[in-house]
Amino acid sequence: MNKRPNFVFIVTDQQRADWLGCYGHPVLKTPNIDAIAARGTRFNNFHVASPVCMPNRASLLTGRYPSLHGLRYNGCRLPLSANTFVDLLAGAGYHTAAIGKSHLQPFTDLPPIGRSADDICSKAEAWKSDGGSYTQEEPGRYREDGRYEIQTPYYGYQHVDMVTSHGDRCGGHYLQWFRQNAPDWEALHDDANQLPHNYSCPQAYRTPIPEDLYPTAYVRDRAIDYLNSRIGEDAPFFTFVSFPDPHHPFNPPGKYWDMYSPDDFDVSLPYSAHKNPPKPLQWLRQNWENGGGQTTPQTAMMLDEQQLKEAMALTAGMMAFIDDAVGDIMNCLTENGQMENTVVCYNSDHGDYLGDFNMLLKGALPFRSITRVPFIWSDPDNRTPSASNALASTVDLAATILDRVGLETFNGNQGKSFKCALGGKLEGKDGVRDELLIEYNDGGNRLGFETPARVRALVTPHWRYTIYRDQDWGELYDLRNDPLETHNLWESADHFTIRANLAERMNHHLTAQMDESPQSERVA
């Protein structure tokens, strides 16, 4: 097609790759998302730049690793001056919209773990130097009735419908809409009105909020409203549709609560499956056995089998709601005649341990359950179903989208376009990457670390090599012979040469973490 395509880019929050029917999940049914894969390319080896919300979402927009774009851990901010691929699309005539969770600025007014508010404010002055606002996702903006008007363009987006936080207590424009459409909204937000259930899983909450008032329905409906508003418009559109689920708390509404039973699921990779657990995994086990809790509700924890199966069942319920919502959005595209010129992508910002080694949520251990996420690209130029094993990263998305519409990427981009891999044309080492880097920076001391964890992992088709700052141990896994990462080969004398080679490659990646934007040639 000569006309530049539209884009609908769908993102979920905290969904591992294997939690879709098209990725082989034995229980979960996701027919509408599977239908996107049936008309596009499903990537089997797609990894995040960082397995935590804010840093990876910023990497998606900027094509840069957290070390460079500056949003290194949850609670930081992405500079409003950052170049994003959405800026370039808007500059090239696209109408750009973000609907749902953005999370490029803090959506709480709390400082990161172990930091005082005064400390944060004093160090935040540099962020204010561009004259922009870095509190546009915070709760104070949405306490009044009516609708808070976000300053646009917002990282390139000309239209923003903001949803912040997770579960049934989301904020942003959703909360303002919820208060307007639910006269009993305070009762619906009262924990005392939780519906009866017998689940013991932490953060399992049976919300009284009906399906049509739940955040997933809100994101669905606002996306459909936006798509309908573009009928007859000449400008192509880029629409970022971001669902806050299936991120915990585990509270699917209405029929989705008991759509799946814990008895449907198994903990197939228990703690005992790991032959030599790394220290943070050992710490989690000891913490659980000693009755220890979480540092924050987002901190990784260890649970018993029944609690994990309950979390799986409720996660499946949240995913079923998302799948139904995706089906409605796809039907809208079809009915409007927009599907014939729209690229549809499906992705997640990071995964969840969700039972692996008895863990839940996410943390410093970069197992594939939190670093490998679904990515599907369905393109009007080629709707033939295919699967690709080519390595790809969140940091590559900006370059790929710009390549698809014929635009040069921006200065400082670190990603590589994988457009050549669409349609399953390239696999593994014949693709655009032989290896990729994953960064993790914690905002506080957790999982037994005396200082906030700084983790770097190098992933190849064969190996996962991980170093932890100031630690005399690390991780090395043979992904071909041990795809579940159950045997750490770090201390194996037979693998010292491999470890040394991967360490050298890691050094090259770390050396490359600088801004390559050209300096001005002007002289005074």
Rg for the chain (alpha carbons), in Å? Answer: 22
Instruction: Give the DSSP letter of residue 267.
Output: -
Closest to 47 (Cα-Cα) out of 435, 492, 473: 435
Residue in the block written with tokens 């239908």: 35
- Between CA 498 and CA 338 the distance in angstroms is 50
Residue 24 has pLDDT above 80, yes or no: yes
Closest to 353 (Cα-Cα) out of 68, 52, 32: 52
Q: How confident is the model at residue 222 (pLDDT cuts 50, 70, 90)?
A: very high
Chain CA centroid to CA 72, Å? 14
Residue in the block written with tokens 């370059």: 399
Instruction: Give the DSSP letter of residue 196.
Output: P
Q: Which two tokens stand for residue 210?
A: 């009906």
How far the first Cα of the chain sits from its last, in Å, is: 47
Look at residue 129 and tell me if it is in a domain.
Answer: no
How many CB atoms are closer than 10 A to CB 305? 14
Residue 448, amino acid: G
Residue 126 has pLDDT above 60, yes or no: no
Q: How confident is the model at residue 113 (pLDDT cuts 50, 70, 90)?
A: low
3-state secondary structure of 456: strand
pTM of the model: 0.95
pLDDT tens column, 360-413 = 999 999 999 999 999 999 999 999 999 999 999 999 999 999 999 999 998 899
Look at residue 119 and tell me if it is in a domain.
Answer: no
What's the CATH number where 203 sits?
A: 3.40.720.10
3-state secondary structure of 333: helix
Peptide bond into 244 cis (omega under 30): no
Looking at residue 428, its pLDDT comes to 47
Determine the average pLDDT of the residues in 217-226. 98
- Between CA 246 and CA 452 the distance in angstroms is 26
Looking at residue 520, its pLDDT comes to 60
Look at residue 121 and tell me if it is in a domain.
Answer: no
Residue 124 has pLDDT above 80, yes or no: no
- Between CA 371 and CA 355 the distance in angstroms is 15
How many CB atoms are closer than 10 A to CB 512? 13
Looking at residue 130, its pLDDT comes to 55
- Between CA 167 and CA 257 the distance in angstroms is 13
Determine the average pLDDT of the residues in 109-130. 53
Q: What is the DSSP string of 147-189?
A: -----SSBTTBSEEEEEESSGGG-EEHHHHHHHHH-TTHHHHT
Closest to 243 (Cα-Cα) out of 298, 322, 312, 177: 322
Determine the average pLDDT of the residues in 502-516. 94
Residue 81 has pLDDT above 80, yes or no: yes
Sort 81 into a burial class: Cβ within 10 Å, 0-12 / 13-18 / 19+: exposed
Q: How confident is the model at residue 521 (pLDDT cuts 50, 70, 90)?
A: low
Asked if residue 418 lies in contact with residue 431, where contact means CB atoms within 8 angstroms, the answer is yes
Residue 159 has pLDDT above 70, yes or no: yes
pLDDT tens column, 33-57 = 999 999 999 999 999 999 999 999 9
pLDDT tens column, 456-474 = 999 999 999 999 999 999 9
- Between CA 178 and CA 295 the distance in angstroms is 31
Asked if residue 113 lies in contact with residue 121, where contact means CB atoms within 8 angstroms, the answer is no
**Average pLDDT, rounded, for the chain:** 93
Look at residue 14 and tell me if it is in a domain.
Answer: yes
Q: How confident is the model at residue 148 (pLDDT cuts 50, 70, 90)?
A: very high
- Between CA 53 and CA 66 the distance in angstroms is 11
Look at residue 222 and tell me if it is in a domain.
Answer: yes
3-state secondary structure of 56: helix
Backbone angles phi, psi at 344, to 5 degrees: -115, 125
Give the DSSP H/E element, type plus range, for residue 85.
Answer: helix 85-91
Instruction: Give the DSSP letter of residue 521.
Output: -
Q: How confident is the model at residue 423 (pLDDT cuts 50, 70, 90)?
A: confident
Look at residue 1 and tell me if it is in a domain.
Answer: no
Look at residue 277 and tell me if it is in a domain.
Answer: yes
pLDDT tens column, 267-321 = 999 999 999 999 999 999 999 999 998 989 999 999 999 999 999 999 999 999 9
Peptide bond into 153 cis (omega under 30): yes
Look at residue 113 and tell me if it is in a domain.
Answer: no
Q: Which domain holds residue 449?
A: 6-108+136-511
Looking at residue 122, its pLDDT comes to 41
Peptide bond into 249 cis (omega under 30): yes
Closest to 75 (Cα-Cα) out of 466, 452, 358, 347: 452
User: How many domains, the chain?
Assistant: 1
Q: What proportion of the chain, given as a percentage, has pLDDT over 70?
A: 93
Looking at residue 111, its pLDDT comes to 64
- Between CA 338 and CA 231 the distance in angstroms is 8
Asked if residue 339 lies in contact with residue 3, where contact means CB atoms within 8 angstroms, the answer is no
